[in-house]
């Protein structure tokens, strides 16, 4: 036991030295993985980081594991040792038969029997995992658990430090551009991406994915393509995996010999793995792909005037479906009248109706604002059909001050409906003046100007499939929506 404690103490000392060594991100965590494996007498170790949605685990450092094992496929955090997400240490004594192991067949082929997962916790939030592997079935002692928890805590501190460095770098870049615009752009801190790209085109591609809020994993899987007897002689590792599209992407330049070589690998991969969706893309091809899947224009640049994408088309649709399910449950056995105020809610209301599973009748209103001493809000188009005694659902694109909504609700209440509720895609509480109740809300946003998915600026941007923040230096805008 003394020898074991000594190894653990030495291991923690080595991790501290590694933390201050100035190594690159990847090399730092590879070195930590090696130290942890040696200190616990394991065959391998891996450090994994959760993505922003806490759905997938990405390797940031590894030691002692084959490339095939590391790149066997994207790890779903809900299928691969899911108890670790709740902050628990998980021990698997026979990986090939344990249902908590996502790829048991690969564990069997690589002779991995024992796996232990330790949560990497920052504050109260699980941000990743530390995993150790052995070819022998065994148990963890309490001393080993203490060492692994201490190592995971050090990993959390290093990840937090790396994120802070990334944040400061963005601030410096923002200040460097301050002379170009009157107001520095808003800094959106993306989750730390645990990657050192092999080529600048990959970094550019990742930046484009981040702008459109498309989730991505970098080089998450390697596919064996050729064998020499029992040994793998050729493997292919696509550059990116896009979970929302279930698509692997291999990037290429316009250089013909490179295109030919990669086309050959992609063709062979498709032949051997027909269920895998993979695309070989140039930058031009990718812009066309974005347009096809509804993420944005086919232009070479980001949408002019949009500083960042807050919610992608996929995120919006996922949230709209969830709201529709709740509405359908709440009104089960009833018929409802869905009412919208033109024009901003048109995209949201159209999609919402498709997912509601109970009978729905639709009606519309239109209003105008006046700045004189008289009536501030006036209804210019009233309902086509009576709503007395019926269940009414008012659908809004965005609610901020609540003044106009309060006026419209009073007008509808005068018709004596059986019930009256409000569903809004966006809620901007920072501007609230009137005390209005929102029964269903898509997203709560800060006090910023947003466009897209029906929301406009001077009549434009309504047709964008996502919701984005308009740049602060774009036209001196001031968002005062009719649907407030």
Q: Are strands 114-122 and 223-228 parallel, antiparallel or unpaired?
A: unpaired
* Cα–Cα distance for residue pair 439/308, rounded to 1 Å: 28
* Cα–Cα distance for residue pair 256/235, rounded to 1 Å: 22
Task: Indicate which residue of 51, 210, 397, 400 is catalytic.
Answer: 400
* Cα–Cα distance for residue pair 448/431, rounded to 1 Å: 10
Give the up-direction half-sphere exposure of residue 465: CA atoms within 13 A in the CB hemisphere: 17
Q: Could you write out the DSSP letters of every residue in 78-140?
A: TTSSGGGGGT--EEES-GGG-TT-S-HHHHHHTT--EEEEEEEEETTEEEEEEEEEESS----
400 is catalytic: yes
* Cα–Cα distance for residue pair 375/410, rounded to 1 Å: 15
Q: Could you write out the DSSP letters of every residue in 402-466?
A: -HHHHHHHHHHHTT--SEEEEEEEEE-GGG--S----SEEEEE--S--EEBTTB-BTTBSTT-SS
Task: Mark 306-317 as b/e (b = at least 16 C-beta within 10 Å).
Answer: bbbbbbbbbbbb
The widest CA-to-CA distance across the chain, in whole angstroms, is: 88
Beta bridge partners of 349: none
Q: How far is CA 448 from the centre of its chain?
A: 21
What amino acid positions are annotated as catalytic residues? 400
């Amino acid at each position: 036991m003394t020898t074991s404690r000594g190894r653990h103490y030495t291991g923690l000392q080595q991790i501290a030295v590694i933390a201050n060594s100035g190594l690159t991100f990847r090399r730092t965590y590879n070195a930590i993985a090696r130290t942890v494996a040696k200190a616990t007498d394991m065959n391998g170790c891996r450090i994994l980081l959760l993505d922003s949605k806490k759905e997938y685990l990405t390797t940031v450092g590894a030691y002692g594991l084959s490339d095939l094992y590391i790149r066997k496929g994207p790890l779903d955090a809900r299928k691969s040792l899911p108890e670790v997400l709740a902050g628990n240490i998980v021990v698997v004594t026979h990986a090939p038969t344990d249902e908590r192991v996502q790829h048991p067949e690969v564990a069997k082929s690589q002779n991995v029997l024992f796996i232990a997962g330790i949560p990497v916790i920052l504050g109260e939030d699980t941000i990743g995992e530390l995993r150790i592997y052995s070819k022998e079935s065994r148990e963890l002692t309490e001393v080993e658990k203490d060492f692994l928890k201490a190592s995971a805590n050090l990993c959390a501190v290093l990840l937090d430090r790396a994120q802070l460095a990334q944040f400061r770098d963005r601030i410096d870049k923002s200040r460097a551009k301050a002379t170009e615009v009157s107001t520095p752009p808003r800094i959106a801190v993306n989750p730390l991406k645990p990657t050192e790209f092999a080529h600048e085109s990959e970094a550019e591609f990742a930046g484009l994915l981040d702008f459109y809020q498309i989730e991505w994993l970098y080089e998450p899987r390697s596919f064996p393509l050729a064998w020499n007897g029992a040994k793998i002689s050729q493997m292919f590792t696509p550059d990116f995996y896009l979970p929302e599209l279930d698509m692997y992407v291999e990037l290429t330049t316009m250089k013909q010999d490179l295109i030919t070589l990669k086309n050959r690998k992609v063709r062979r991969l498709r032949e051997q793995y027909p269920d895998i969706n993979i695309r070989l893309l140039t930058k031009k091809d990718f812009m066309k792909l974005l347009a096809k899947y509804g993420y944005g224009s086919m232009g070479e640049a980001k949408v002019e005037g949009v500083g960042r994408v807050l919610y992608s088309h996929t995120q919006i649709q996922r949230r709209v479906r969830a709201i529709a399910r709740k509405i359908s449950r709440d009104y089960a056995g009833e018929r409802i009248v869905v009412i919208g105020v033109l024009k901003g809610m048109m995209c949201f209301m159209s999609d919402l109706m498709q997912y509601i599973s109970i009978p729905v009748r639709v009606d519309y209103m239109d209003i105008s604002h006046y700045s004189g001493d008289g009536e501030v809000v006036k209804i210019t188009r009233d309902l086509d059909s009576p709503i007395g005694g019926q269940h009414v659902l008012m659908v809004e694109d965005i609610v901020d001050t609540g003044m106009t909504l309060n006026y419209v609700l009073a007008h509808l209440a005068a018709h004596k409906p059986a019930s009256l509720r409000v569903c809004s895609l966006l809620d901007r509480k920072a501007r609230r003046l009137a005390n209005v109740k929102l029964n269903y809300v898509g997203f709560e946003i800060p006090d910023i100007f947003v466009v897209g998915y029906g929301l406009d600026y001077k009549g434009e941007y309504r047709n964008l499939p996502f919701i984005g923040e308009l740049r602060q230096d774009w036209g001196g805008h001031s968002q005062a929506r009719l649907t407030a």
